[in-house]
Amino acid sequence: MTQQQQNIRLQYAVVSIALVLLVIKFTAYFITSSNAILTDALESIVNVVAGSFGLYSLILASKPRDNSHPYGHGKIEFISASIEGSMIFIAGTIIIGKSIYNLLIPHEVQHIESGIILVTIAGIVNFGLGVLMEKRGKKAKSLTLIAGGKHLQSDGWSTLGLLVGLALLLIFKYIWIDSIVAIIFGAYICLEGYRILRKSIAGIMDEADTDLLASSIRILEENRQQNWVDVHNLRVIKYGSNLHFDCHLTVPYYFSIREGHDEIEKMESIINAHHESNDEWFVHADACVPPAMCKICMKSDCERREAAFVQKISWQLDNVIRNQKHNLPD
């Protein structure tokens, strides 16, 4: 079974479980009439809808490249995550609005014990499933699974807080505690929705992933070859779980096209060996410029050196992402 098929199977399970938990949480709400429990129930609707769209996005993203989509269909995962984030934010806003209304116009809350039992079961299942999804999403570089996993974990944590609020309500019998707890966790849900939405928009806009770039640069630096005089203008674009890198690699100016291509293939194989997936690299080969670049070139057997080696320039995020060859200051 391929990695993409495993992701889809997991998402099928997520949607199925979300439907069961939806029924459990609304049953708890109808038994208790608790606003706090309603927050959990409304978020379960989001879980089902967002999970269904996430399933669709994973199925679409698994399709092979075609003439109309030469980079594949992976961008749909960012759209899926943005929809999920938006829905989470809207659900949080609705929760806050209803809770404020019930602070002004209180209503009776009943059968709290039964509600606590049902919500506890749902919270444990959600949190465990969320941990599994996030772990799988990071391994597969799937924003859909990561976003869904974080959402379910936040749902689990909010359930824990909700249970604390219900326990206080059960002990002190103050009706307003129910609405205050709901407002607090409604705000938390809004924040989580914003975070997911922010990350998905960053992916759609091809915002630089500094963590990913830094880790890739670190791999290149640790496996640096003598024929790699310089690397610069490194960039990455994400298409779901597929990563597309491009950069400029400076090699000795007297290398043939075949020799330059061999160095490019060596670079690609080193990076791919450290990643779970096969990343796609577009590397432009530059010729070194003596004598200036001789001062930073570590090639010990160069017969055309025009200046002595002076200093190694370590490849780091701030100097490798710039579109500028490295040189020592005059």
Q: Which of 8-12, 83-87, 276-280, 325-329 has the highest mean pLDDT?
A: 8-12
pLDDT of the residue at 202: 83
Rounded CA-CA distance 231/223 in Å is 13
Instruction: From residue 283, give the alpha-carbon distance in Å to each of 130, 235, 266.
Output: 38, 11, 11
Q: Where in the chain is the domain with CATH 3.30.70.1350?
A: 210-320
Q: 155-169, 207-221, 240-254, 316-330 — which is least confidently predicted?
A: 155-169
Query: Which residues, at least 6 apart from 41, have a Cβ–Cβ distance to it below 8 Å?
Result: 22, 25, 26, 28, 29
pTM of the model: 0.67
* Mean pLDDT of all residues belonging to the chain: 84
Q: Which of 27-31, 106-110, 247-251 has the highest mean pLDDT?
A: 247-251
Fold annotation for 3-204: Alpha-lytic protease prodomain-like (1.20.1510)
Pairwise pLDDT comparison (312 vs 272), residue with the higher score: 312
- Can you list the positions of beta strands (E) in 170-315? 230-239, 242-251, 280-287
pLDDT reading at 324 higher than 80: yes
pLDDT of the residue at 200: 85
For residues 137-150, average pLDDT = 79
**Tens of pLDDT along 287-300?**
999 999 999 999 99
Answer for the pair 35, 157: CB distance below 8 angstroms, yes or no: no
**Tens of pLDDT along 177-223?**
877 877 887 888 888 888 888 888 888 877 788 888 998 899 999 99
Q: Where in the chain is the domain with CATH 1.20.1510.10?
A: 3-204
Write the burial class of residue 22 (CB in 10 Å: 0-12 exposed, 13-18 middle, 19+ buried).
Answer: buried
Residue reference for tokens 């055309």: 304
pLDDT of the residue at 241: 66
Question: Which letter does DSSP use for residue 321 in this model?
Answer: S
CATH number for region 210-320: 3.30.70.1350
Pick from 178, 164, 191, 189: nearest CA to 100: 178
Answer for the pair 253, 287: CB distance below 8 angstroms, yes or no: yes
